[in-house]
Amino acid sequence: MTTFDESPAVRRLTDWDLPRLETLADEYGTPLYVMDLDRVKENYARFSAAFPDAEVMYAAKAHTGKAVLEAVLDVGGEIECAAWGELERSVQAGADPNAMQYTAVNPPDHDLDYAVDLAAENPGLTITIGATDTLDRLAERDYDGRIAIRINPGIGTGHHEKVATGADAKFGIPYEQVPEVAKRVREEFDLVGLHSHAGSGVLTEGLEDHCKAIARVGEMARRIDDSDLEFVDVGGGYGVPYREDDEPLDLERTAKMVRDAVGDVEATLKLEPGRYIVADAGLILTEVNTIKEAPDSTVVGVDASLATMVRPAMFGSYHPMLNVSAPDREPHPATVGGPVCTSADVFAHDRPIARPERGDMLAIGNAGSYGYELASQFHSQPRPAEVGLEDGEARVVRRRETLEDVTRVEQ
């Protein structure tokens, strides 16, 4: 029997049970998100096994669905949150607030109020700050509890400039200001850790730059004397191969490089994988409704859109696609787009796909990370259902919205 840490390092679209996917689409309709909760557990366990002496927290923002959070908690995971709603949903899923970390980025008053109230009942909750202004606002709320300082290392990494947070002034305390901020935190609060996050979607070839940012965190820990710090948190950003010929992240090499980059510190190493845990555990099923032969391309219309998953429109992201209904047909270049009235609503341009026909079911892979989280109701489209697969069974973990759901908040 395959244990979690021995499971395959990457799951390609062709590894899914295609007849079962067609059955799910027939039963639950399309567009449809499918999340393999067993795969979520496998990915978390595999990542944790690569860092046996570290504390691994799942970055909830990648997918905050209750079923996913419960799957992570089932295998002993902890949760890192970036907003009050993620804190609340994690608690509802069964997470212990005393083991959680709240990474505040320009937090609204309501967020801080919620976090401070939660910490009053759960003093183990850690609040990570990225601005001295946040310290002032916490002090105004009579908070004197656990604080981690988010460092801006001045080095950004990742698959797109919009996720290279390590070089973005929005995120973290400027590097040379950290010692003075640490002095203040030690005087007024309980300084328990340092934190940084360089960027997202890093694969093996991007590790060198990623580890340069991590090394700065280790250097700062030694500079401010880490003898009283509980942890050094180097964030997440560990990627998955979206393209079919990309190799999966070499976890063994990654673990060694990260450890070497942090260097000799007394504090516990913390990491916050998000995408790595859920990306290849999810996909979207969408039905072909239109075939149009244009002068330069065959246009394939589907019922999923940028409202279903915005990553291709927002980041230019590549997601693998497969004709689930007829995978063995001759590949044909197809431009696949949805029903939204913008040229950005395209999942693939001139992509070789087993020639689609009206009524075929297509799968869009690696949709488990920042897929449903970024879904919208643009064009008054109700958001799709989500089905979870676990222990051989399928169940609806998020029902399909109706138009009544879309308009319920209107007055």
Q: CB–CB of 301/289 below 8 Å?
A: yes
Q: Same domain, yes or no, for 284 and 269?
A: no
Domains contained in the chain, number: 2
Q: Which helix (H) or strand (E) holds 126?
A: strand 126-129
The answer to whether position 252 is within a domain reads yes
What gap in Å lies between CA 337 and CA 335, rounded to an integer? 7
Q: What is the CATH number of the domain that holds 378?
A: 2.40.37.10
**Residue in 1, 341, 343, 380 annotated catalytic:** 341
**182-235 pLDDT, tens digit each:** 999 999 999 999 999 877 677 777 788 888 889 999 999 999 998 899 999 999
3-class secondary structure per residue, 294-356:
CCCCEEEEECCCCCCCCHHHHHCCCCCEEECCCCCCCEEEEEEECCCCCCCCEEEEEEEEECC
What tokens were used for 257? 């490089």
Q: Same domain, yes or no, for 132 and 255?
A: yes
Q: Same domain, yes or no, for 235 and 171?
A: yes
Q: What is the mean pLDDT of residues 292-315?
A: 94
* Domain stop point among 229, 258, 273: 273
* Domain stop point among 249, 273, 297: 273
Pairing status of strand 268-271 against strand 282-293: unpaired
Q: Same domain, yes or no, for 196 and 311?
A: no
| 311 pLDDT tier (thresholds 50, 70, 90) | very high
Q: Same domain, yes or no, for 213 and 318?
A: no
Q: CB–CB of 21/284 below 8 Å?
A: no
CB atoms within 10 A of CB 78: 18
Q: Among candidates 67, 9, 43, 22, which has minimal Cα distance to 399?
A: 67
Q: Same domain, yes or no, for 185 and 288?
A: no
Q: Same domain, yes or no, for 231 and 364?
A: no
The pLDDT of residue 165 is above 50: no
Domain limits for position 253: 96-273
**329-355 pLDDT, tens digit each:** 999 999 999 999 999 999 999 999 999
Please tell me the predicted confidence (pLDDT) of residue 237.
87
What tokens were used for 377? 């109701």
**110-143 pLDDT, tens digit each:** 999 999 999 999 999 999 999 999 999 999 999 9
What tokens were used for 385? 């259902």
The answer to whether position 221 is within a domain reads yes
Lowest mean pLDDT across 40-44, 156-160, 357-361: 156-160
What gap in Å lies between CA 203 and CA 197, rounded to an integer? 15
Q: What is the mean pLDDT of residues 61-76?
A: 98
What gap in Å lies between CA 201 and CA 159, rounded to an integer? 5
Q: Same domain, yes or no, for 369 and 330?
A: yes
- Collect contacts of 248-253 with beta carbons under 8 A, ≥24 apart: 248/9, 248/10, 248/203, 249/9, 249/202, 249/203, 249/204, 249/276, 250/204, 251/9, 251/46, 251/47, 251/50, 252/50, 253/204, 253/207
CA-only gyration radius of the chain, Å:
22
* Domain stop point among 237, 256, 273: 273
The answer to whether position 53 is within a domain reads no
The answer to whether position 49 is within a domain reads no
For the chain, give the mean pLDDT: 92
Q: CB–CB of 194/232 below 8 Å?
A: yes
Helix (H, G, I), strand (E, B) or coil at 363: strand
Q: CB–CB of 141/152 below 8 Å?
A: no
Q: Same domain, yes or no, for 137 and 259?
A: yes
Q: Same domain, yes or no, for 320 and 400?
A: yes
User: Does the active-site annotation cover 211?
Assistant: no
Q: Which residues pair with 292 in a beta bridge?
A: 299
Q: CB–CB of 36/71 below 8 Å?
A: no
What gap in Å lies between CA 165 and CA 82, rounded to an integer? 14
Q: Which helix (H) or strand (E) holds 190?
A: strand 190-195
